[in-house]
Structure 1
């Protein structure tokens, strides 16, 4: 793991809350509008999670996960601040091109089937599924929101690097092994 990092990855606050709880260990990504013709690419192997609140709603989550919107990472922080509390290390990447496999993602993440289908079909059919090992800070860094962080793009370069030394894993080794095995079942199906 890097000792410090300034790269952040924008994701719905509800998904960040699921990652923080350990109920999800994957990120399902299509990419933002401003990511050009090639779309989303996994440009970084580790990054801070940048919780966003735009475009997310209870109707896009699996019904049993709608309460995630009430958790701190899914809510707007006070006075234009951003709380960096989570850090992710990419363990594996799957580029999913077969729509018949989308239903297998339901047990791995909190978005509902319709939202996953919409993401898959947007522009060129396909999705990236990133298996991530998630770590959390005992006391989040409070970062000033900057206008350059706005917009529909996945990656953000923060104004400074933030130390990763105090991070603790959300899942212990055995729990993460279970998450890896569930992800591997989707990968095997996709091949």
Structure 2
């Protein structure tokens, strides 16, 4: 793991809450408007999770997980503030090309089938699934929101590096290994 890092990955606050609670260990990504012609790329293997609220709503989640939007990480912070509480290390990257496998992701993540299918079908059919090992801080870092963080983009370079020394894994090694096995069973 890096000693410090300034790269952040923008993700819905509800999904960040699920990652922080160990409910899910995957990120399902298509890419934002500003991703360019190549679309989404896994440009960094470690990053801070940057919770967003744009395009987020309970109707996009599986019904059992709508309460995630009430979690502190999912709630809009004080004006002009960003809270960094979670760090992610990418352990595996898969690209799904068959819509028939999408329903198998239900047990690994909190988005509903319609949301996943919409992402899959956007522009060119396909989705990236990133298996991540999530780590949490005992006390979140609070930083000022900057204009360069705005927009529909996945990757954000923060104005400073933040240390990773106080992180603890959300899942035990055994729990994470089970998530890996479940994901591998889907794509075999």
TM-score, normalised via structure 2 length: 0.99
CA distance in 2, matches of 1:151, 1:7: 16
The answer for the alignment partner of 1:171 in structure 2 is 171
Shift of 1:79: 2.3
Q: String of CA shifts for 1:103-122, please: whole Å, max 9, x gaps.
A: 11111100000000000000
Shift of 1:71: 0.5
Q: Does 1:62 align with 2:79?
A: no
Q: Please, which moves more after superposition, 43-52 or 175-184?
A: 175-184
The answer for the alignment partner of 1:2 in structure 2 is 2
CA distance in 2, matches of 1:89, 1:108: 17
TM-score, normalised via structure 1 length: 0.97
CA distance in 1, matches of 2:145, 2:112: 29
Count residues in correspondence. 188
5+ residue gaps, structure 2? none
The answer for the alignment partner of 1:73 in structure 2 is 73
3-state DSSP class of the match of 1:39? Answer: coil
Q: Which runs of 4+ in 1 moved over 6 A?
A: none
* Cα-Cα RMSD: 0.5
The answer for the alignment partner of 2:38 in structure 1 is 38
Q: String of CA shifts for 1:56-105, please: whole Å, max 9, x gaps.
A: 10000000000000001111111211010000000000010011111111
| Larger helix proportion of the pair | 1
